[in-house]
Structure 1
Amino acid sequence: MVIAAVYFVIAVGAAVMSGKSLDRNLQGPRLRAAWAEGLTAEARCVSLRTEEVQSPEGGPIVYTHPTLEFRTDDGHTVSFEEHQSRLTPARGDSVTVYYSAANPKDATTRAPSFGMRHARTLITGAGSFFALVSAVVIALVP
């Protein structure tokens, strides 16, 4: 029983750390801040930058990062390079961006989604559930 309890505590701690780590890697805090106020604007793609990296298999992977420019509600022009979107607009195209008034440079073209809003909670909850089930199995096995 003691082993199961120790296992449970360690496994839940690992689930919490995994949830935090995944959330940071997916830029969850930045995205949630951009979506929080519900501010949107139409941005224009002013340039495209391509980046070529090597895949683990050794082949090339090309990423395209658009630089977008938009006007905030208070009239300021903001320019930022999008890194997190699968969207690749052509130069001159318009796209919708989500931003916060406090930090409009952290805008994003990614639309709010349940998964991104709650990724940390979902990963932590799933890990904790599996930790509980595993701990019960450990406690019941003679």
Structure 2
Amino acid sequence: MVIAVVYFVVALTAAVMFGRTLDRRLQGPRLRAAWDGLTAEARCTGVRTEEITDVEGVPMVHSHPALEFRTPDGRTVRFEERQAQLDVKQGGFVTVYYGEHEPESATARTPSFVPRHVKTLVTGVGGTFALVTAVVLAGVL
């Protein structure tokens, strides 16, 4: 029984830590702050292309638009969207999301379920797995 409890605590801690790490890696805190903040129409001032090779050796081209928008207080904010694949040409407009106090952390990514809830999902699934496994361990021992 003690082994099952120790296993459960260690596995639950690992699930929580993995959920937090994955959330930060997917930029969850920044995206949630932007999505819960304000929106603006941003103009594309240029597009930088980047040629890369994927893990299988296939060449790929990524486009990173430079976007510019104005905050309600009249400040101009410029940033390059690196996370979302946008199909916008120079001079085109897209909706951007940004936190009221941190407009430099803006994103053109549309709100989606996984970045919003990845920490909860991973912790919940990992915690459930840990509990089921600990119960089975307690029954076997």
Normalised-by-shorter TM-score class: over 0.9
Look up the match of 2:6: 6
Q: Residues of 1 paired with 2:30 and 2:81: CA distance?
A: 12
- Letter of the 1:94 partner, please give it: F
Aligned pairs for 1:87-102 (under 5 A) are: 87-102=86-101
Look up the match of 2:102: 103
* Pairing 1:58–2:31 present: no
Look up the match of 1:33: 33
The normalised TM-score by structure 1 is: 0.92
> Deviation at 1:97?
0.5
The normalised TM-score by structure 2 is: 0.92
> Deviation at 1:35?
1.8
> Deviation at 1:114?
3.2
> Deviation at 1:87?
2.1
Q: Which runs of 4+ in 1 moved over 3 A?
A: none
Task: Please say which of residues 54-63 and 89-98 is displaced more in the overlay.
Answer: 54-63
- Give RMSD over aligned pairs: 1.4
- Letter of the 2:23 partner, please give it: D
Q: Contact 2:63 / 2:85 at 8 angstroms: preserved in 1? A: no
Q: Contact 1:65 / 1:88 at 8 angstroms: preserved in 2? A: no
Q: Residues of 2 paired with 1:9 and 1:44: CA distance?
A: 50
- Letter of the 1:109 partner, please give it: A
- Letter of the 2:122 partner, please give it: I
How many residue pairs are counted as aligned between the two chains? Answer: 141
- Letter of the 1:103 partner, please give it: E
Deviations 1:22-67 (A, max 9, x none): 1111101111111222x11100111111122221222223221111
Q: Secondary structure of 1:116's match? A: helix
Q: Residues of 2 paired with 1:31 and 1:68: CA distance?
A: 17
Q: Contact 1:46 / 1:91 at 8 angstroms: preserved in 2? A: yes
Q: Which runs of 5+ in 1 are unaligned?
A: none
Q: Contact 2:43 / 2:93 at 8 angstroms: preserved in 1? A: yes
Q: Contact 2:27 / 2:115 at 8 angstroms: preserved in 1? A: no
